[in-house]
Every structure is written in structure tokens, then in C-alpha cells.
Amino acid sequence: VNTLENEAIIKDAKKNYELQLSAYSNLALNLVLHEKITAFFDLLHKTLKSGAKPEELLYNVNFSKPSVKRLFDSWSDRDARAGIEKVYMRVEKHFAETPNLKPVVWASIKDNFLKSSSTFSQDFKRVYGNDLPIPFDMQNLISFIERQLHQ
């Protein structure tokens, strides 16, 4: 077997798989945090990455403190729990034919949640410091997912 060639094929396939897994987990995250909130954090991340100064962002209408407060007010813990239940039902439905794979999918979703949450809080702290708290604690949401899984 030409191992080098096989390695390249598997590497490409793995990249494709990781891309799909992250797309799937992002859809799950949208259900838990609301699409508007994830869109806000994505935009914040892209803007900071493009070199914008954090202190100047507060004058941008998308990132001003009142608009962020309004955005967070529209979200509640209860919505997140309902979202997690929805995600649970979705995974059950999508992977019904391959039940052995469900734990792996859940583990990936949880990993993705944690990764996103650390990016969210880093970006958020850079702009708002300790003035505004992020209303959700991802660790809490994940423990709720785990409780849901064990039910």
C-alpha cells in the first residue's frame, strides 16, 4: 500500500468530516443560543480579527452597550433548555439508524460548544471588559445536556 497517498486521501476526508461536524454543531448552537446571539459573536470575532480596535467598537451601532443589552435580554435560560431539548430530539432523529454513533456526535457537539464559548468570552472581554456579563454559562448548559442524555 502506498501509505503516503492513502494518508493524503484520509487527511482530505477528515478535513471534510470536521467541516461538516462543525457545521452541524453550529446549527445546534443556534438552537440553544438563538441565531441572533451567535451571529453577534461571529460578527464580533470577524471584526476584531480584521484589526478593529476594541474601544472603538463601542461606538458601532452593532456593538454598542445598549444594543448588546437588548440582544441579551431577548434570551433566557429557559429558551436554552428548550433549545437543548430540540437539539436532543434532532440528534435522536438524524442518527436513529446508527445509534452507536450518537455518543460520538454528542461529544463533538459538546466540544464545539466549549470551544465556541471560550472564543465568545475572550472576544467579549476584550471589548466590554467586566462592564457587561455574558448571560449564559456554557458549562451549565453542557451539564444540562448531560442530564438530558442520562434521562
Cβ at position 58, least distance to other proteins in Å:
34
Give Cα separations from 85 to 38, 73, 80, 126 (angstroms): 18, 21, 9, 32
Cβ at position 63, least distance to other proteins in Å:
27
Residues in the chain: 151
Residue 8 binding other proteins, by CB under 8 A: yes
Residue 13 binding other proteins, by CB under 8 A: yes
What gap in Å lies between CA 69 and CA 86, rounded to an integer?
26
Interface map 33-62 toward other proteins (x if CB under 8 A): ------------------------------
Residue 82 binding other proteins, by CB under 8 A: no
Taking CA 146 as the corner, what is the angle to CA 143 and CA 151, rounded to the nearest 5 degrees?
130
Interface segment toward other proteins; rule CB under 8 A; list 45-53, 66-74, 100-108, 132-140: 100-108
Taking CA 70 as the corner, what is the angle to CA 64 and CA 73, rounded to the nearest 5 degrees?
140
Interface segment toward other proteins; rule CB under 8 A; list 50-58, 77-85, 91-99, 121-129: 91-99
Which residue in 94, 131, 139, 146 binds other proteins (CB under 8 A)? 94
Beta-carbon contacts of residue 37 (< 8 Å; ≥ 6 apart) = 71, 72, 75
